[in-house]
Chain A
Amino acid sequence: MSDLVIEARGLVKRFGRATALDGLDLGVSAGEVHGFLGPNGAGKSTTIRILLGLARASGGSATLFGRDPWNDAVELHRRVAYVPGDVSIWPNLSGGEAIDLIGRLRGAAADPRGYAERKARLVDVFQFDPTKKGRAYSKGNRQKVALVAAFATPADLYILDEPTSGLDPVMEAVFNAEIRRVAGEGSTVLLSSHILSEVEQLCDRVSIIRAGKTVETGTLEALRHLTRIEVSFSAGPTDAQLASIPSARDLETTGGRVNFTVENAELAAVLPVLGQLAVQGLVIAPPSLEELFLRHYGDSAR
């Protein structure tokens, strides 16, 4: 018995001739905020639908809390809160009615006072108007319906499918605070996204998927080891001096600045040389997730 809340091994999903998932692996431990990264069409939503028992895997295995999401969906859903990527709500129900309905289905009735307090607070922080009819809401506001409903009832696992795609930056900050709050209370979060900065700020570990396969998984630190660090400074030193920098790769001078990259392990050897050259305007940047991403999607992105 592992402490994995979500475990998927060799997950395969075919729709007719098209293959959406092609041997996907995913492991999320209890209490972790896990980033689930991939470009549109990589299979993130399909994976989530399988984890929720809304779709059935064509091959491989998936478990939630050690149980089969397809057969034990109803039991498992008592512990799960879900925010879909493209939230649809009932056009003639108000936002508040939709939130209450989902809340009650998820067991809000067991603690009506606590639920009412949490709902009031969330409606306030998300600056959401619950009295409008569903058809009048924008994408962002529909997303708020699902977010308020998800956070208003405690869950052991939050599955969020691109939850901030319709939110403005202020609301993103509110969303981040909520994720930190539930993570602080010990809940597990699976956060799918193609927005890297969001994942970088919130997640302990990430899995990067592409074309239905997991291509990289690990902590952000571990993943950063895989890429080179970028160093740049103002142009000035001669070419001979630049050539003396050890382990520098992709060295070039553009726009009045010298840029090169080094392996993380070799950075310590580079710094004294830069000191001797008395370089100006030195910038040493760790690899951003963006870079990790581009590396994996480089071929398809271009």
Chain B
Amino acid sequence: MTALLLQRARRDRVQLAVWIVCTGLLAYVTASAVGSTYSGEQEREGIMRLAVANPAILLLRGLPQGTALPAFVFFQIFTYLALLAALMSTFLAVRHSRAEEESGRAELISATPAGRIRPTVATMVHGVAANIVLGAAVALGFIAGAMPVAGSLVAGVAAAAVGIAFLGVGLLAAQFAHTSRGANSISVGLVLLAFVLRGVGDALGTPSADGLRLTSAWPSWLSPIGWGQHTSAFTADDLTPLLLCAGLALVCGAAVFALQSRRDSGASLLPGLAGHAGAPAWLRGPFALAWRLQWPTIVAWCVGGAVFGLVAGSLSGVVVQAAQQNPELEGMLKTLVSGEGTVTQVLISAMFGLVGFVAAACAAQGVIRARQEEAGGTAELLLSTPLGRVRWLACYLLLGLVAIALVLLSAGLASTVAVFASGDDEAHAGESFAAAAAQIPAAICYLGVLALVFVLVPSITAALGWTLLGAGVFLGTFGGLVGLPQWVRDLSPFTHTPAVLARDTDLSGAAWLVAVAVAAASVALLLMRRRELR
């Protein structure tokens, strides 16, 4: 048992450490950033009234519990902390259960006196321990961000409880799915469903008389993330809803043992899907293959883009009304984006910055996929046919461009629809698409630079890709907030994304981004001709 636990801890030590530290940092950064940005009671009140009036904000944030600073922080960030805990737990559960069975390693362990049940117990203990550490990190983050100690502890316990509930969900999903990919899809789907259910519950909630508080509707009570939210840390500090989390974890755990003691090792409750005996006629070249391998991911990124677009568009109508009543709010919103314009334009610009992150992430993932093909050996099979290395890489870059375009198009479309649905008569049809197009330079900059990394130092493509993206997003979003000097913030491509909706748009930054992207991609393709497969 100890050996199994140590093996799990050792295998996950980097991954979990990074995940937990990032979650704790998120709590800390939000607490301190909100503390300095919205220090005035009046500003927070303006935002809260806006939130209570707008389902889209509620869906993406949480349950308003008044305008006190700690409550405001909890409203802003808790659902995301819970989301991170939930995802950490389901990935951990699948990694040590179905993935092990799929690879055949579980057989090796089950053949020892450890048997079939003990590894599962070890995974549960390991997962619960990871969540306790994550909860502690969240609590410490809040405390370090000058939040009250008691509420910080409640928030930490709530995040850990949500994570533990989803540990059970992930282990149960692993009993059903035939592959780790399938188990991850099911459990991530359930995590997102939990997030959306509580979002719908909050969006349909009943506002209090002063318009600063909300009682959520019943769908929120179907979601473990909702249960965590109902602890109302920093206001009510009520731990009883977490009993539901514990209950769900226990039920899932019992079901896992019941199912596992009945099935064969490696078998699953849902059968694996059979494929086709032959390839469809269009699957005939490297581009078609790249599309075949990546379309589900691209669709997922597009959905992400569309959600942000929808929020951007739907916000505008509400905000215009709110801003007319509260000029201070208008001024504050405008500080978020450089340049001038109407409130709608400013807001859409700001929201499309998030869409830009999604598009860049999608592009980065395309290049990382090429590296996975090379490292996995499938590229060797392809390149032993009459297919040149340069053409192969060019197809991946081309698909990267297509993916960026698709993400931005879906965001633009969703935003346009939402703008018109919200009845904003100041808006123009082209605004959303212009804001989307402004995100192209930064996204293709990631595509080109990462392609060059892939050609020069292939082994670090994935690690460096996500690091560059994370650093860029951080510098682009929080660089100003945490007071970094301008030259550091200028390192992020997102800092140079033009605010096209403002007057006197400065396009020189965008031109530089495009130049860097084109140069990097060209050099990458040139060097690919002389590069061995590694």
Contact = CB atoms under 8 A, between A and B. Distances in A.
Q: Do A and B assemble together?
A: yes
Interface of A: 49, 52, 54-56, 73-75, 77-78, 80, 82, 84, 86-102, 104-107, 109, 130-133, 135-136, 146
Contacts of B272: 133, 136
Contacts of A130: 277-278
Contacts of B533: 49, 54-55
Nearest to A88: B377
Contact of B384 (A82, A86, A135): A82
Contacts of A133: 272-275
B386 interface: yes
Given A49-B533, A77-B385, 9 more contacts: A74-B387, A80-B384, A84-B380, A94-B276, A96-B276, A105-B382, A109-B284, A130-B278, A146-B381
Contacts of A86: 377
A135 B179 contact: yes
B381 A87 contact: yes
Nearest to B178: A136
B378 interface: yes
Contacts of A107: 386
B222 interface: no
A293 to B, nearest CB: 28
A100 B382 CA distance: 12
A132 B274 contact: yes
B504 interface: no
A55 to B, nearest CB: 5
Interface in B386-400: 386-389
Given A135-B179, A136-B272, A101 B387 contact: no
A55 B532 contact: yes
B327 interface: no
Contact of B532 (A54, A91, A109, A136): A54
Contacts of A75: 386
Interface of B: 102, 179, 181, 272-279, 283-285, 289, 292-293, 376-378, 380-389, 530, 532-533
Contacts of A99: 279
B277 A94 contact: yes
A194 B231 CA distance: 66
Chain B: interface secondary structure? loop
A97 B276 contact: yes
Contacts of B289: 90, 101
A260 B414 CA distance: 88
A101 B279 contact: yes
6 contacts: A54-B533, A74-B388, A84-B384, A95-B275, A132-B274, A133-B274
Nearest to B389: A73
Nearest to A73: B388
Contacts, number: 108
A224 to B, nearest CB: 34
A132 B275 CA distance: 5
A136 B275 CA distance: 11
Given A54-B533, A101-B283, A135-B102, A89 B179 contact: no
A86 B532 CA distance: 18
Q: Which 4 A-B pairs have the closest CB atoms?
A: A94-B275, A88-B377, A100-B279, A105-B385
B293 A90 contact: yes
Given A131-B274, A135-B179, A101 B284 contact: yes
Contact of A105 (B273, B386, B389): B386
Contacts of B387: 74, 77, 105
A55 B530 CA distance: 10
A104 B284 contact: yes
B378 A90 contact: yes
Given A92-B293, A97-B279, A133-B273, A77 B384 contact: yes
A87 to B, nearest CB: 7
Given A56-B532, A133-B273, A100 B278 contact: yes
Nearest to A138: B104
B276 A131 contact: yes
Given A55-B532, A131-B277, A97 B285 contact: no
B376 A88 contact: yes
Contacts of A74: 386-388
A102 B530 CA distance: 23
A97 B382 contact: no
Nearest to A153: B385
A89 B283 CA distance: 15
B102 A96 contact: no
Contacts of B383: 54, 73
A89 B383 CA distance: 13
A55 B179 CA distance: 34
Nearest to A52: B384
Contacts of B376: 88
Given A90-B378, A109-B284, A96 B385 contact: no
* B274, B292, B382, B386 pick with most chain A CB within 10 angstroms: B386
Nearest to B288: A101
Contact of B380 (A54, A93, A94, A132): A54
A102 B279 CA distance: 10
